[in-house]
Amino acid sequence: MAEGRIVKALSGFYYVQTEDQVYPCKGRGVFRKRNITPLVGDFVSFDLDSNQEGYITEIKPRHNELVRPPIANIDQAMIVSSAAMPNFSSTLLDRFLVLIEAKGIQPIIFITKMDMATEEEKAALQAYKQSYEQLGYHVELFSSKEPAQPERIAALFTNKVTVIAGQSGVGKSSLLNALKPSLLLKTADISKSLGRGKHTTRHVELIEVNGGLVADTPGFSALDFEGLEAEELGGCFPEIRERTGMCKFRGCLHVKEPQCAIKAGVASQEIPSFRYEHYVDFLAEIQSRKPRY
């Protein structure tokens, strides 16, 4: 019996990386009966037959998993936004941050295409960078026109399993190409009429980048808060999470309740008002969700 990590899933085969090579494996029928699907990123045990084809016999417990893209055991997520084409949206960035935080994954914020921003936009983005860094997030402003940057940024991937998230057209593939030109990932032109990029990536695969593994995947196709309850939302905002228990009322949702530490933090400007506004909007969205029976 051998052990390894699934690095690619394609056409019914799971490609398992061991220390010395990659083996194509099939999943055992027992997983189907138990409604378990092996995921890229899973640590597994497998048996090899005489043709060096493997059969997965066990899936080790997962630290975390995502449904879209289907991947497990992720260390960090690089959330890519762009300064222009499409324009930066703090609301969209915060949606991604909530979804990542809910899974217990470490986020890193990348803002690409800084070379395409106006001076006014650059100043606004520097202010956002400062706000997010004060909340404890790592933020990188990235210009594909500056060749000195990829070396500095490549170090963030070392010894980590990374997913890259962000809306279409923000430059995810271009970013990876800059870090590792041999990947030659297909980069799609933005469809200017739609303001969206075309999907260029299909199956999920972990590729080696600077001593780490990166998921080459279309990323988050759904940005709704399905599965996240109203009471859990605050835990996905670090500035709310660290003030847990400081409100007068237990179970405070930080909207209408009196003597709320979060509203006090907004009033004293310790919590950025745009973050609180997003929290209130997301909470309303979760509370208006139709119950599923």
- Of 186, 216, 246, the residue at which a domain comes to its end is 216
CATH of the domain at 13: 2.40.50.140
User: Based on the domain organization, do 81 and 206 belong to the same domain?
Assistant: yes
Cβ burial 124-135 (10 Å sphere, 16+ → b, else e) = ebeebbebbeee
* Cβ–Cβ < 8 Å for 92, 167: yes
User: Based on the domain organization, do 274 and 182 belong to the same domain?
Assistant: no
- Structural domain total, the chain: 3
The average pLDDT across 233-246 equals 95
% of residues, the chain, pLDDT over 70: 84
User: Based on the domain organization, do 99 and 150 belong to the same domain?
Assistant: yes
User: Based on the domain organization, do 198 and 91 belong to the same domain?
Assistant: yes
128 assigned to some structural domain: yes
pLDDT of residue 198: 43
User: Based on the domain organization, do 78 and 187 belong to the same domain?
Assistant: yes
CATH of the domain at 240: 1.10.40.50
Among 35, 3, 15, 103, smallest CA distance to 63 is for: 103
- Of 37, 61, 85, the residue at which a domain comes to its end is 61
Cα–chain-centroid distance for residue 237?
Answer: 15
d(CA 185, CA 176): 8
108 assigned to some structural domain: yes
CATH of the domain at 175: 3.40.50.300
Higher confidence at residue 229 or residue 195? 229
Higher confidence at residue 72 or residue 145? 72
User: What tens digit of pLDDT does each residue of 180-210 get?
Assistant: 666 655 544 433 433 444 444 457 789 888 8
The two three-digit tokens of residue 2, written as one number = 């051998």
User: Based on the domain organization, do 81 and 51 belong to the same domain?
Assistant: no
User: Based on the domain organization, do 200 and 79 belong to the same domain?
Assistant: yes
pTM (2 decimals)? 0.84
User: Based on the domain organization, do 100 and 196 belong to the same domain?
Assistant: yes
225 assigned to some structural domain: no
Which residues are CB-contacts of 243 (< 8 A; sequence separation ≥ 6)?
261, 262, 265
Helix or strand (DSSP H, E) at 130: helix 119-134
Higher confidence at residue 189 or residue 274? 274
190 assigned to some structural domain: yes
| pLDDT beyond 90 at 291 | no
Q: How confident is the model at residue 235 (pLDDT cuts 50, 70, 90)?
A: very high
pLDDT of residue 90: 95
- Of 187, 216, 245, the residue at which a domain comes to its end is 216
User: Based on the domain organization, do 147 and 171 belong to the same domain?
Assistant: yes
34 assigned to some structural domain: yes
Backbone angles phi, psi at 22, to 5 degrees: -110, 130
User: Which residue range(s) make up the domain with 204?
Assistant: 71-216
User: What tens digit of pLDDT does each residue of 81-109 get?
Assistant: 889 888 899 999 999 999 999 999 999 99
CA angle (12 as vertex; 216, 207 as ends), nearest 5: 20
User: Based on the domain organization, do 108 and 200 belong to the same domain?
Assistant: yes
Among 98, 96, 99, 143, smallest CA distance to 122 is for: 143
The two three-digit tokens of residue 11, written as one number = 């056409």
Higher confidence at residue 279 or residue 36? 279
The average pLDDT across 241-268 equals 94
User: Based on the domain organization, do 211 and 75 belong to the same domain?
Assistant: yes
